[in-house]
Amino acid sequence: MNDVHILLAEQYREALETYLTSADESGLWRAYDLGRQSLQSGIGVLDLVLLHRRVLDRRFEDPVTPAQVIRLVDVEGAADFLLEALAPYEMAQRVLQEETDDLLRRTERAQEASTRHQRALGRALAAVDRLEQERRRLAADLVDAEEKERQRIAAEVHDDSLQVLSALDLRIQTLVRAEGDGERRGALESAQEIVRLASDRLRCLVFDLRPPELDRVGLGVVLRASLERLSAESGIEIDLQDEMESPPPPDSGIVLYRIAQEALANVRRHAHAGTAVVTLSQQDGGFLLQVRDDGRGFDPAERAGQSSKHFGLTVMRERAETVGGWIRVESLPGKGTVVEAWVPGQEWTKDGPGTTPGSEGPR
Amino acid sequence: MGPIEALMADRIRIPIESEGDIVTARQHARALARHLDFSPSDRIRLVTAITEVARNLLDHSTGGEILLSLAAREEEEGVVIVGRDHGPGIPDVERALRVGFSTRGGMGLGLAGVRSLTHEFGMESRVPDGTTVTAKRWVGGLA
């Protein structure tokens, strides 16, 4: 009991005494008001009834006059007073009941809404999932189609164009032999050289389009041949560090080879680099290709979107993802560029999700 | 003229300007409840509802008036309580009925309490014309 409670108890006692002396509406109003104050100051309904009883008990203890004795038995008056004092408690109980019912109804509605939203979200996520699968499938188809088209063109060039040039070469050779020394022989020999140059270039094209014997001689060896040619043509010093102990699966090998080609084409076209280092290694149960140059680099944030198109990053990424791998490009203006591509060591099924621990740009 | 006679004639109008007027309103309500044969506990509920309307007029306004009249429908009888103040009106009636809302402190049970103790309850407020609360309680009906 705090001071407020003691004060209220005293006021209650006085008001009840007064009411028992002269029962009128203002006494009942007082009872009601005290009941309201009790409720407001946290006095429990049982406390209030016990307080009421204590006040009555005390009247029984020291009856003084016969008139008081008669009023002692004014049970009805005391009860009316108590009922008025309890009326605010009933009101509060009713209001709280209404509030509780309302809260329960609203909670129920909120739960229903939440369930609906969750279902909608689940459907949306499933749709996103299906679209992502569809996208991957299309990307895989695209990469596959591109590879097939390259093979077809390579076969065409190899089996047709190169044969024709070879025949031409033989014919010129025959003509050269038939000629004595002289101006015509020189002209023929020069024509023969042009034909051979064209043949060489077409062979390079065939080699690029369809790297021969990737699974037989290994990625490192094929890449080295390619790099040497690029180095000779571009003047960029290119170093290959082959730390692979076993060859990647054929599909993954092709992917790494194509990404290396694309990355090196970028180095040649855009980087203004003096040197580039290509590293092949084994990591996290897969194979990692790293192409690092000392060129002018770029700001990936600034050129997000356009750079990915420009540098064929999208195509490189699609390629990596078709075998369950990933690609990461890090670059800063003036600090060169690093392209990393990882492919899994095991054959990858297209249903499984690709692991993508990194993303394009510096971390 | 006693309260019942006044009611039969038209209705009882009680100006509420002080706590003493609350007592008067309670007296009229109690007499009316007895006349209409409300049960003892329903009598107290009706008186409580009128008390809270009156308190509200004093607490949240500069006073007003309460009109008590008889209501009848089919075989039922009841009491209509109308509380009117002299402005300034409440912009958000819904909020005023929420438990805990009170612009002058206190428990804010007031009008929500009136609603819980009566069968029909309505409140209209127009800034700056003032607020009118109408509540009906039938004999019998809900406890």
| All residues at 6 or more sequence positions from A190 whose CB lies less than 8 Å from its CB, including other chains | none
Residue carrying structure tokens 């689940």: A122
As a whole-number percent, the residues of chain B with pLDDT over 70 amount to 77
Task: Say if CB A338 and CB A290 are below 8 A apart.
Answer: yes
Of A351-360, B72-81, B121-130, the poorest mean pLDDT is in A351-360
Residue A137 tokens, joined: 């499938």
Question: pLDDT higher for A24 or A353?
Answer: A24
Tell me, what's the pLDDT at B20?
93
* Distance, CA of B87 to CA of A86 (rounded, Å): 32
Contact A95 B99 (CB under 8 A): yes
Query: Which chain A residue shows the shortest CA-CA distance from B55?
Result: A33
Nearest to B26 among A25, A96, A97 (CB): A25
Q: What is the maximum alpha-carbon separation in chain A? A: 166
What would the pLDDT profile of A254-298 be if each residue is shown by its tens digit?
889 889 988 888 888 887 888 999 999 998 889 999 999 988 888
Tell me, what's the pLDDT at B107?
42
Nearest to A98 among B23, B48, B116 (CB): B116
Q: How confident is the model at residue A352 (pLDDT cuts 50, 70, 90)?
A: very low
For chain A, the average pLDDT equals: 85
Residue A32 at interface with chain B, using a CB cutoff of 8 Å: yes
* Distance, CA of A345 to CA of A246 (rounded, Å): 10
Task: Say if CB B35 and CB B12 are below 8 A apart.
Answer: no
What would the pLDDT profile of A55-80 be if each residue is shown by its tens digit?
888 876 666 666 665 555 577 889 99
Tell me, what's the pLDDT at A354?
44
Tell me, what's the pLDDT at B99?
60
What would the pLDDT profile of A150-199 be if each residue is shown by its tens digit?
889 988 998 899 999 999 999 999 998 888 778 888 899 999 999 999 99
Query: Which chain A residue shows the shortest CA-CA distance from B46?
Result: A87
Contact A98 B44 (CB under 8 A): no
What's the whole-number mean pLDDT along residues B55-84?
A: 87
**If 0-12 CB within 10 Å is exposed, 13-18 middle and 19+ buried, where does residue A346 land?**
exposed
Chain B: give the shortest CA distance to residue A99, in Å.
Answer: 8
Tell me the chain A residues in contact with residue B113 when contact means C-beta distances shorter than 8 Å: 88, 91-92, 94-95
What would the pLDDT profile of A129-159 be if each residue is shown by its tens digit?
999 999 888 888 888 888 889 889 988 998 8
Task: Say if CB B14 and CB B21 are below 8 A apart.
Answer: yes
Contact B51 A96 (CB under 8 A): no
Q: How confident is the model at residue B6 (pLDDT cuts 50, 70, 90)?
A: low
Tell me, what's the pLDDT at B4?
59
What would the pLDDT profile of A216-250 be if each residue is shown by its tens digit?
777 888 888 888 888 888 888 999 998 888 888 87
Tell me the chain A residues in contact with residue B19 when contact means C-beta distances shorter than 8 Å: 29
Cis link prior to A362 (omega < 30° from 0)?
A: no
Chain pair A-B, CB pairs under 8 angstroms = 57
Task: Say if CB B25 and CB B50 are below 8 A apart.
Answer: yes
Nearest to A92 among B20, B40, B109 (CB): B109
HSE-up of residue A148 (Cα within 13 Å, Cβ side): 6
* Distance, CA of A249 to CA of A357 (rounded, Å): 21
Q: Assess whether pLDDT exceeds 90 at residue B75.
A: no
* Distance, CA of A45 to CA of A93 (rounded, Å): 11
What's the whole-number mean pLDDT along residues B32-46?
A: 92
A293 membership: H or E segment, kind and range:
strand A286-293
Q: Could you report the predicted ipTM of this complex, rounded to two decimals? A: 0.83
Instruction: Summarize chain A as % helix, strand, coil (round to 5).
Output: 70, 10, 20
Contact B117 A39 (CB under 8 A): no
Residues of B with CB under 8 A from a CB of A: 19-20, 22-23, 26-27, 30, 40-41, 44-45, 47-48, 51-52, 99, 106-107, 109, 112-113, 115-117
Query: Which chain A residue shows the shortest CA-CA distance from B117?
Result: A91
What would the pLDDT profile of A99-135 be if each residue is shown by its tens digit?
899 999 999 999 999 999 999 999 999 999 999 999 8
Task: Say if CB B110 and CB B102 are below 8 A apart.
Answer: yes
Tell me the chain B residues in contact with residue A40 when contact means C-beta distances shorter than 8 Å: 106-107
* Distance, CA of B51 to CA of B117 (rounded, Å): 11
Residue A91 at interface with chain B, using a CB cutoff of 8 Å: yes
Nearest to B83 by CA among B42, B39, B113: B113
Q: Assess whether pLDDT exceeds 50 at residue A355.
A: no
Question: pLDDT higher for A140 or B108?
Answer: A140
Residues A141, A145, A147, CA angle at the centre, nearest 5°?
120
The CA dihedral of B42, B43, B48, B54, to the nearest 10 degrees, is 130
HSE-up of residue A233 (Cα within 13 Å, Cβ side): 13
Tell me, what's the pLDDT at A296?
86
Chain A: give the shortest CA distance to residue B73, in Å.
Answer: 25
| All residues at 6 or more sequence positions from A12 whose CB lies less than 8 Å from its CB, including other chains | A34, A38, A48, A51, A52, A55, A85
Contact B48 A88 (CB under 8 A): yes
- Quote the radius of gyration of chain B (alpha carbons, Å): 14
Query: Which chain B residue shows the shortest CA-CA distance from A80?
Result: B44
Question: pLDDT higher for B99 or A254?
Answer: A254
Q: According to the per-residue pLDDT averaged within each range, which of A136-150, A195-209, B35-49, B61-75 is highest?
A: B35-49
Residue A77 at interface with chain B, using a CB cutoff of 8 Å: no
